[in-house]
């Protein structure tokens, strides 16, 4: 792939250089022809009418010839050089701005990682110190349980972080979207059974697309679990989640929608829900939606969340099927 891309790039560059050389040659030929005509006409006037008329003609026409030469031969080269210089300056500024944004993002991510890992470790360490100071305390069993939960939280954070940081290969194949969504919901039957919310389905089993079925199931599981968690923590009447899928009229894109009738999300939080370590759950790692967004974008798609009388997540990506 790398060699092929390199050959394609070199071929495109050669074509561009060929066009540029051809255009410059045409301009030089046009200017040369103009100069020959100018010289012959001036010579003819000088011979037939005298030196002064020939000089005036040569001078007056020479101005036009000089303007022609400048705009046909000199100006394009100057424009190319100045454009290249401006692009280099602009690219340098954009690169520095991008590096600055990446640096700030890395600093924020590092701070979030340190916070997510340090807090549970500190709590577990405090509990173990209490157990060491009072080894016969009847509370040690509870202390040990809480310490293990905190360490489990660290393990989940690290596991999710590694999954978020790792670029996973996509195994694309033609799949039936409704069947993939249905399989994801079947895998959640136990979780749905413990929830106070019901899950409704509106699936199109005629929609086909090229996708990694396992990755799509993970996307669905995370979105539905988030919706169930939000509904279980609320007191809305008749809590339910509606999962639907389909395709656009042209058949070029497919979509998956997960909508609940929960309390919704504040506008101030909505803009940050896909950022790493952003979570409102006491036991959440804050990486679930970040990983979900990464998997969707790996399929060339987009994921959008809106909140109005509930929360709706819309996933859209190219069908890849012709």
Q: Tell me which residue range forms the domain holding 263.
A: 173-318
Among the three residues 66, 99, 132, which one is the final residue of a domain in this structure?
A: 99
| Claim to verify: residue 179 and residue 314 sit in the same structural domain | yes
**Per-residue confidence (pLDDT) for residue 55, from 0 to 100:** 73
Give the other-Cβ count within 10 Å of 104's Cβ.
Answer: 10
Burial status of residue 184 (CB atoms within 10 A of its CB: 0-12, 13-18, 19 or more): buried
Burial status of residue 89 (CB atoms within 10 A of its CB: 0-12, 13-18, 19 or more): exposed
Q: What is the mean pLDDT of residues 194-207?
A: 91
Sign, CA torsion 213/218/221/226: negative
Report the half-sphere exposure of 55 (CA within 13 A, side-chain side).
3
| Claim to verify: residue 177 and residue 73 sit in the same structural domain | no
Q: What is the mean pLDDT of residues 263-292?
A: 73
* Residue 286 confidence class, pLDDT cut points 50, 70, 90: low
Using CA atoms, how far residue 103 sits from 27, 98, 177, 273, in Å, is 48, 8, 39, 21
pLDDT exceeds 60 at position 283: no
**Per-residue confidence (pLDDT) for residue 2, from 0 to 100:** 45
Task: Give the strands of the sheet with 302-307, arranged side by side.
Answer: 198-202, 240-247, 253-260, 311-318, 302-307
**Separation between Cα atoms, residue 311 and residue 258, nearest integer Å:** 8
The reply to whether 121 falls in a domain is: no
**Separation between Cα atoms, residue 228 and residue 261, nearest integer Å:** 10
pLDDT exceeds 90 at position 308: no
The reply to whether 284 falls in a domain is: yes
The model's pLDDT over 257-276, given as tens digits with 9 standing for 90+, comes to: 999 998 888 888 888 888 77
**Separation between Cα atoms, residue 25 and residue 32, nearest integer Å:** 10
| Claim to verify: residue 93 and residue 185 sit in the same structural domain | no
Q: In the structure encoding, which two tokens stand for residue 209, read together?
A: 């697309």
The reply to whether 22 falls in a domain is: yes
* Residue 93 confidence class, pLDDT cut points 50, 70, 90: low
pLDDT exceeds 60 at position 150: yes
Rounded mean pLDDT of the chain? 79
**Per-residue confidence (pLDDT) for residue 186, from 0 to 100:** 92
* Residue 72 confidence class, pLDDT cut points 50, 70, 90: confident
| Claim to verify: residue 95 and residue 181 sit in the same structural domain | no
| Claim to verify: residue 63 and residue 177 sit in the same structural domain | no
- Residue carrying structure tokens 């990464």: 294
Report field, pTM of the whole predicted structure over 0.85:
no
**Per-residue confidence (pLDDT) for residue 223, from 0 to 100:** 94
Collect all residues with Cβ–Cβ distance below 8 Å to 310 and sequence separation of at least 6: 259, 260, 261, 262, 264
Q: Pick the more confident residue, 15 or 208.
A: 208
| Claim to verify: residue 76 and residue 212 sit in the same structural domain | no
pLDDT exceeds 80 at position 247: yes
The model's pLDDT over 117-134, given as tens digits with 9 standing for 90+, comes to: 777 778 878 888 888 888
Q: Are 242 and 200 in contact (CB under 8 A)?
A: yes
Count of domains for the chain:
2
Among the three residues 67, 99, 131, which one is the final residue of a domain in this structure?
A: 99
Collect all residues with Cβ–Cβ distance below 8 Å to 278 and sequence separation of at least 6: 269, 272, 286, 289, 290
């Amino acid at each position: 792939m790398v060699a092929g891309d390199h050959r394609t790039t070199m071929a495109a560059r050669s074509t561009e250089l060929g066009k540029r050389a051809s255009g410059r040659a045409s301009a030089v030929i046009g200017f040369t022809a103009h100069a020959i005509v100018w010289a012959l006409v001036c010579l003819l006037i000088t011979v037939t009418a005298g030196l002064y008329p020939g000089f005036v003609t040569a001078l007056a026409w020479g101005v036009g010839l000089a303007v022609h030469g400048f705009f046909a031969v000199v100006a394009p080269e100057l424009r190319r050089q100045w454009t290249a210089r401006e692009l280099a300056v602009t690219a340098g500024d954009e690169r520095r701005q991008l590096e600055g944004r990446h640096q700030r993002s890395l600093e924020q991510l590092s701070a979030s990682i340190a916070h997510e890992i340090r807090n549970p470790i500190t709590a577990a360490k405090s509990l173990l110190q209490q157990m060491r100071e009072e080894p016969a305390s009847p509370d040690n069993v509870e202390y040990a349980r809480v310490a293990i939960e905190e360490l489990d939280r660290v393990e989940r954070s690290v596991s999710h972080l590694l999954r978020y940081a790792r670029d996973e290969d996509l195994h694309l194949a033609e799949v039936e979207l409704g069947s993939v969504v249905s399989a994801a919901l079947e895998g959640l039957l136990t979780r749905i059974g413990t929830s106070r919310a019901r899950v409704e389905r509106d699936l199109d089993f005629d929609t086909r697309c090229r996708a990694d079925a396992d990755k799509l199931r993970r996307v669905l599981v995370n979105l539905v679990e988030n919706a169930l968690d939000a509904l279980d923590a609320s007191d809305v009447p008749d809590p339910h989640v509606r999962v639907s899928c389909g395709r656009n009229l042209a058949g070029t894109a497919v979509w998956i929608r997960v909508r609940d009738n929960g309390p919704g999300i504040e506008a101030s939080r909505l803009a940050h829900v896909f950022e790493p370590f952003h979570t409102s759950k006491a036991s959440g790692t804050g990486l679930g939606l970040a990983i979900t967004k990464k998997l969707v974008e790996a399929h060339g798609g987009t994921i959008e969340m809106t909140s109005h009388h509930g929360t709706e997540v819309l996933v859209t990506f190219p069908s890849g099927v012709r």
